[in-house]
Amino acid sequence: MDKMPKWADIVLIPLISLMLAFIASGLVVLAIGENPIQAITVMVKGALGSTSGLGYTLYYATNYMFTGLAVAVAFHARMFNIGGEGQAAIAGVGATLVILAFDWPHWALALPFAIMGAALFGGFWAAVPAYLQAKRGSHIVITTIMFNFIAAAVMGFLLNGVLKNPNTQNAETVKFPDGAHLPTAHEFLAPLGINFSKSAPLNISFLLALLCAFLVWFLLWRTRLGYSIRAFGQSEKGAKYAGISAFKIIMISMFISGALAGMLSINVVMGEQERLIKEFVEGAGFVGIAVALMGRNHPVGIILAAILFGMLTQGGFELLWEMPNISKEVVLVIQGMIILFTGALDYMVRGPVEKMFLRMKKGA
């Protein structure tokens, strides 16, 4: 055994990181005079204790699956895509233009075209920084961050200009036609005799997120292109020596990454808001980075991590209602602790665990 077992990498290290994050968060809650056990109980009950809470948890998890998968695809090609916020925002414009272009008779007809619109806009928005890196050597982290700001400006320009609803002062479009309404969890579970909450925004996009996770797994581990992406990510020089085009891999990986981030707009813009509003992404692009890191850039890990972060988001809102002494900033600190320990401080846990398994090997 030259290194620790895979199960330890996938299960043990994230579990230890989570425990450390909860301990640190508990100390923060204790410091403001509240009971950390009660706080965790409220969060778990709020996230999973009712169909309404579960619906919101899975709704947020859907967003994080899309952005987590987007980060993972780019990361396998050794690129750090931090532009999920901007790519999802611009993808929302693409989906909106498609939906508002026709009076759709049924959502089943509108959905495939909205997906194509979102994927193309999100993908092309990510392809610009990719081109700048492939041809000009620009750093993908810097350019994708800057493109987030540019996307915000574009959204403001459009939603206060040509796309603005003339009947309101808000920066938003007109409501989508009724034929573009995506079925909610309540609507598609009711025929099966399952009474799900009507208020929860969980919709059919959750199934789309699971399908995207499967397609990403198939692409990366079962296709020649996926092998080329992973080979390029492991060794750029080795991949070039094997005849793999760096330009092609960078462009395709970032386009797929941007398209996946753009799927978030299907869940929020088409599935919940049913119109385009300015700040609908709400930080999910950045949370996707932590989701991908915690999920080890594997679709199965990303699904589980996204559900955990969905629980944290929904549970955090419940904390604000149930425990008034815990402010929104404290909830952000708790969520930040999870991101910090599972992402940035991963190697703080990994090092001792690897040494432990090496000592066990020598002692065997």
DSSP string, 244-292: --HHHHHHHHHHHHHHHHHTHHIIIIIIIISS-BTT-STTHHHHHHHHH
Q: pLDDT tens for residues 309-332?
A: 999 899 988 888 888 778 878 888
Give pLDDT, residue 247. 95
- Is the pLDDT confidence value at 78 over 70? yes
For the chain, the average pLDDT equals 91
Q: Residue 340: which pLDDT band, with cuts at 50, 70 and 90?
A: confident
DSSP string, 87-117: HHHHHHHHHHHHHHHS--S-HHHHHHHHHHH
- Is the pLDDT confidence value at 362 over 90? no
Q: What percent of the chain has pLDDT over 90?
A: 65
Give pLDDT, residue 39. 87
For the record, the structure tokens of 116 come out as: 């194509």
Q: How far is CA 237 from CA 81, 186, 245, 347, in A?
A: 21, 52, 11, 26
Q: Residue 40: which pLDDT band, with cuts at 50, 70 and 90?
A: confident
- Domain extent listing, the chain: 64-296
Give pLDDT, residue 189. 92
CA distance 185 to 32: 38
CA distance 144 to 285: 11
Give pLDDT, residue 364. 62
Give pLDDT, residue 344. 66
Q: pLDDT tens for residues 101-142?
A: 999 999 999 999 999 999 999 999 999 999 999 999 899 999
First to last CA, the chain: 11
**Section 246-253 average pLDDT:** 96
Give the position of tokens 């579970």: 189
**Section 247-258 average pLDDT:** 97
Query: Which of 24, 30, 55, 10 is CA-nearest to residue 267?
Result: 55
Confidence (pTM): 0.91
Where on the phi/psi map is residue 65: left (φ > 0), alpha (ψ -120 to 50), or beta?
Answer: alpha
